[in-house]
Chains A and B, each alone.
Chain A
Amino acid sequence: MSSQTLTIETETAGSLAQEVAARSGQNLNACYQCRRCAAGCPVGDDTGVTPDRLIRMVLLGDREAALNNLLVWQCVACYTCGTRCPNNIHTARITETLKQMVKEQHLEPMTPKVAYFHNAFLTSTSHFGRLNEMEFMGIYEIKNAQNELKKGGGIKAIIVELKNQMQLGKEMMKLKRMHFSIDKIKGLAEIKRLFAKAKK
């Protein structure tokens, strides 16, 4: 983990902390940096930033760091940090909030594939009311391929990705775990209205 010094942004500290606390429902001020969360975080080694560190970034008002770090995107939502926190702070809720803020502010997600994955899931759900696994994967792979192309020279990465998916798909088909029927609910209009309300 880096030993970079965190500095307090006095202008913005209060407002960022308040916004994140209100939206996530978590009392960030209760964190006394015991780092039980860090000890249990399964992705801490990958992200460098652990839950305690993320809370600190928010409290210090470092909006840039809080929205642009790997923990926000690579958090697997296992809820270990929150379950073990002596002060009941669920940092997974905070990463959810920060992800939503990145989306609302039209910022580039640090790990785009994670964002595409969850967006594709909800897009497919909004079409049928239930998840269509094939459409979900299709939307995800198209979005992913578009991004690789945009980055330039990503053809190889696209081929590797699609090959992996096709291998899984072939195996699923063989095992009768792939389903081709369209499962569309009758009350889809209600789902559409809820999605519309969510945008407001």
Chain B
Amino acid sequence: MEIAYYPGCSLHASSALYDKQCRDVLGRLGADLKEIKDWNCCGATSAAKTNDFLAIAMPARNLGIADASGYAEMVIPCASCYSRTVLAQKALESDPDLREKINAELSEKIQGKIKLLSILDLLVEKAKSGEIGAKATKKLEGLRPACYYGCLQTRYPADIQITDNVENPQGMEMVCEALGAQAIDWGYKTDCCGASASVNDSDVAIRLMSNIQKDALARGANCFVTTCPMCQMNMDAYQGKAAAKYGIGQSLPVYFITELIGVSMDIGTAELQLDRHFIEATELLRGLKLL
């Protein structure tokens, strides 16, 4: 099945490993990702905090390109890009004047056709159908991930229906189960890690992360798993700081969900780019004889 794909800026830069993993892993699961042409930045949290028009108009241009691509669905792995794009689509649906105003500047007009999927929507479907279980044959015995959803995978500042539970989502746990990993039950899976504040308000960001770290460790997790590149980067790069400041004994590797599926499919370390983590990410897997 071919599906339109919006990587977003992060997956073309600091989280390029996630882009590669998405293509590899989803490809092996039968979803052939077709990157839409000439996409632009979604504006992320910054546009929302700066200008209401841009917050809609930036993802709107991508929606127009996706509508013209001819594909029925588009997957957006980054939780922030997904959130902004879904919000824009919803706003444009209910505001024809705004759609008109934006369409006037676009060569590919917004038609409102494309169905948007988060990476978790796609993966949960593949877990339920048994495709993940069938393709990911190396069972991740001994891996106890704390499934970390962060803010944007389940919460939207508008009336957007999600299929998972907002306060206690289970999608990633379902994928982990298909991989044979023992996801832990914990209390901070949808708490904010402070990613958007890590540079400009670091004391707050570090404190938020320390809460997440402490709970995951207390519940016996040996790693985090996430779908969001903002969370991954923040928790990977700054967990050490939180550990030092708050006297936490250990920092845990932070895996993208695609990495766990990839390991289970026996895709190698180099191909998955598992060596690009701030917190060493291969040792745990080697210790469990998974690499």
A interface vs B, CB < 8 Å?
Answer: 23, 42-43, 46, 74, 76-80, 82-83, 88, 90, 92-93, 96-97, 99-100, 103, 111, 113-114, 116-119, 121-122, 125, 129-133, 137, 140, 165, 168, 171-172, 175-179, 183, 185-187, 190-191, 193-195, 197-198
Contacts and interface: CB of A to CB of B under 8 A. Distances in A.
B277 interface: yes
B47 interface: yes
A168 B105 contact: no
Nearest to B208: A42
Contact of A175 (B151, B157, B277): B277
B12 A130 contact: yes
Given A133-B14, A178-B14, A187-B61, A77 B45 contact: yes
B204 interface: yes
B200 A42 contact: no
Contacts, number: 166
Nearest to A183: B12
B49 A118 contact: yes
Given A78-B191, A178-B14, 5 more contacts: A78-B192, A122-B46, A122-B51, A165-B199, A191-B58
B41 A42 contact: no
B2 to A, nearest CB: 23
Interface residues of B, number: 60
Given A90-B157, A129-B41, A198-B51, A175 B191 contact: no
A-B complex: 6 closest residue pairs judged by Cβ atoms: A121-B46, A78-B192, A79-B155, A131-B9, A118-B46, A117-B200
Nearest to A24: B52
A76 B197 contact: yes
Interface in B1-54: 9-10, 12-17, 38-41, 43-54
B12 A171 contact: no
A20 to B, nearest CB: 12
A76 B159 CA distance: 20
A46 B204 contact: yes
B40 A111 contact: no
A185 B38 CA distance: 6
B155 A194 contact: no
Contacts of B186: none
Given A100-B51, A130-B40, A187-B38, A74 B46 contact: no
Main secondary structure of the interface of A (DSSP, over half): helix
Nearest to A125: B41
B15 A130 contact: no
Given A129-B40, A168-B237, A77 B107 contact: no
19 contacts: A46-B207, A78-B155, A78-B191, A79-B156, A79-B157, A88-B159, A97-B52, A103-B50, A117-B200, A121-B46, A129-B41, A130-B12, A130-B41, A179-B14, A185-B39, A191-B58, A194-B102, A194-B105, A197-B101
A103 to B, nearest CB: 7
Interface in B185-240: 190-192, 194, 196-197, 199-201, 203-204, 207-208, 237
Contacts of B58: 125, 191, 194
Contacts of A175: 275-278
A165 B199 CA distance: 9
Nearest to B55: A96
A198 B51 CA distance: 7
B288 interface: no
B13 A179 contact: yes
A117 B208 CA distance: 19
